[in-house]
Structure 1
Amino acid sequence: MIVDRVDEQGLTARLDRLAGLLTDTVGSGASVGFLAPLGHAQAVAWWRGRVAEVAAGRLAVWVAREGERVTGTVSLALPDKPNSRHRAELVKLMVAREARGRGLGRGLLATAEEAAAAAGITLLHLDTETGSPAEHLYRSAGWTRAGTIPDYAADPGGELRPTTLYFKRVGALAGAG
């Protein structure tokens, strides 16, 4: 398994395979911002929309692959406001169904956390569907629950579900309160 941070050219070259991962993730019931069924063309268009964000340095994307097959991804959304450059949002952690249960999600999470710390980011935050398998991953990886918002987003089936907010200190402040 290889995990690489991709630039805009790398992202563009993998649009089709990343779209396949996104449709697989939504098809498995994961709440990552889309309703089912998610069409391949819609997934390609969504990923294509991320290329400019990567090029501008507002989004960092890592792709896990076995050969040319994309098995997972994770991203960090980087704020551009002067008062928030110490933090980033962890977004779109996805693992292909056939690659689940082998530690890839935990590995991608660690990759993003380590890269954030190396870049001087000291605080990460995320939101995830309350009660989802992802919530267990974040808790077991040392993330702190900040609270829950009811009826925050629709799951892939269209049902409104609560989301739980998490944060984690990384880098220089990892040991601080």
Structure 2
Amino acid sequence: MTDQEGRNNEGPTSRLLRNEKSDSCFRVNHYPPCPDHWEVAASGRNLIGFGEHTDPQIISVLQSNNTSGLEICLKNGSWVTIPPDQSSFFIIVGDSLQVLTNGRFKSVKHRVLADHTKSRVSMIFFGGPPLDESITPIPSLMEEGEESHYKEFTWFEYKKSAYKSRLADYRLGLFEKTPAQ
């Protein structure tokens, strides 16, 4: 997929993101320091700045200041801190890209912890398709005879479903052909 899209700007995901009706957006997040919560840190618990979730879009591109806080969840359920680096971008696979690749790429569950002494600022681009776009596996990525793991749906249908769910819910489960275990 990357090689194909690198040669031109007409690859399947580029087409969705570059479309003038794309549902992409840019957001700046500010997580102020929480100095009154030393007792939380002293107890070994985490102070959540933004709860665990996956991004529903195709892809998210994140850059932050040098304050830590971003964590990703591994398959075994443990959380790993992503070291802050204000000169780098962090790419997050979204739920829609998981469907477009028929599960080859997995959306990444992540969260943000609040710092007790420093503000965290992040800028994030959420790359979303047009609202009426069907979200189905990209045919060129499918093996001969391979079945889609997901029911066909539009980006609007997925957003509507996501807004009705809780942040930490596994939202793709409603669209899987075989329910998640």
Give the structure with the larger strand fraction.
1
Give the TM-score normalised by structure 2.
0.25
> Which protein has the bigger helix share?
1
TM-score, normalised relative to structure 1: 0.26
User: Which structure carries more relative contact order (alpha carbon 8 Å, separation 6+)?
Assistant: 2
Greater radius of gyration (CA): 2
